Amino acid sequence: MLGDTELIGRIEGGESDRVEFTASTTDLDKFRQAICAFANDLPGSGEAGLLLVGLRDDGGCAGSTIDDALLKTLGGLRIDGKVLPFPVMEVARTRLGDCDVAVVQVEPSDNPPMKVDGRCWIRTGLRRAQATAEEERRLTEKRRWGTIPYDMQGVPGATVEADLDMRVFENDYLPCAVSPEVLAENRRDRGEQLRALRLMAPNGAPTVTAILVLGRDPRYWFPGAYLQFVRYGGTAVTDEILDHAELSGPLPEQLREADRLLRLNISHALDTRGERHVEERSYPYEALRELLRNAAIHRNYENSHTPVRVSWLADRVEILSPGSTFGEVGRDNFGRERPPTAIPPSPKR
């Protein structure tokens, strides 16, 4: 986080392509757009962008309330799923003279374009707006492909024409990934669309994500990319097998089949003892559905050929997903609320 001296210097310089002032403390859409634009860093300055909450457009104090709740809200914008990929940012409260200010410092992304709900935002000078197709293409070309995550890397030997189902891409994937307004104005060719959605590497090969989600035969490239389901008659895996299945194909197809299996195997009973009849299920469908989706989507596809395994026993359901927990999550903190992404306030001067 910038020190007070440098921060004051940036404020005195007024709004720019790397500095934005706002008096609002509630306009979350505006905050997300600013974070996205700073992370994209279209001019290529390489400097951190600053969203300063509590200042008027002229840099004067707006008298906004900068409390811990606001800092927690601002910090949560990094991981609320609206700005993707997740930006690198810090949030802090500082006091400049008699004015409290919330500082959101956003680092330029190594892998632009960043998007908010499928829309790419940029900032040039005092202007913040949606990127044009040409501006988004320039952002795509700035990526540092050598450091990108595994799921964004190209699959050697795979081709878009032979290995992706483009009918599914155009009819199903695009409408879900891109807003209707952007699609209506879209004049990009297929390659540009795939690159913008991180489904094609610079060499033209489909990415790991593209093969897993749109691939004609994902198991050809990733032998463990399937879900194995076994139902046992007892409480141990050595007991009689009542049913078994292998769910293959692209991830959306696997998950649809998994939903069907859950509905078939969850038993239902009707409790008629009270005035109102109540339906009771052996397991909550929604909970098992979420667990299976997490197991399939967040598993390790890079270093394991083991499938996701679902063992349905008489007294429990076990779901095994290859890999480990995400990020810093472990047994000691699983299910606990993460502290806000914030830095303690600077000492008053």
Give the mean pLDDT per block of 10 residues along the chain (349 residues).
84 92 95 96 91 93 94 93 89 90 93 88 90 87 72 91 95 87 78 89 92 96 94 95 95 95 87 71 92 91 89 94 72 64 40
CB 54 within 8 A of CB 64: yes
Sequence-distant (6+) residues with CB within 8 A of 288 are 262, 266, 317
Tell me what pLDDT residue 196 has.
85
- Both tokens of residue 12? 């005195």
Tell me what pLDDT residue 254 has.
95
Tell me what pLDDT residue 140 has.
82
Sequence-distant (6+) residues with CB within 8 A of 333 are none
Tell me what pLDDT residue 97 has.
82
b/e for 85-109, b at 16 or more Cβ within 10 A? bebebbbbbbebeebbbbbbbbbbb
Tell me what pLDDT residue 347 has.
43
Tell me what pLDDT residue 341 has.
42
Tell me what pLDDT residue 105 has.
96
Q: With a threshold of 0.85, does the pTM exceed it?
A: no
CB 121 within 8 A of CB 129: yes
Report all structural domains of the chain as residue ranges with CATH numbers, in order of start: 4-129 (3.30.950.30), 144-216 (no CATH), 227-320 (no CATH)
Tell me what pLDDT residue 207 has.
95
Tell me what pLDDT residue 217 has.
95
Tell me what pLDDT residue 342 has.
39
User: In this structure, are strands 99-106 and 115-116 parallel, antiparallel, or unpaired?
Assistant: unpaired
Tell me what pLDDT residue 349 has.
36
- Match 């502290």 to its residue by tokens: 339
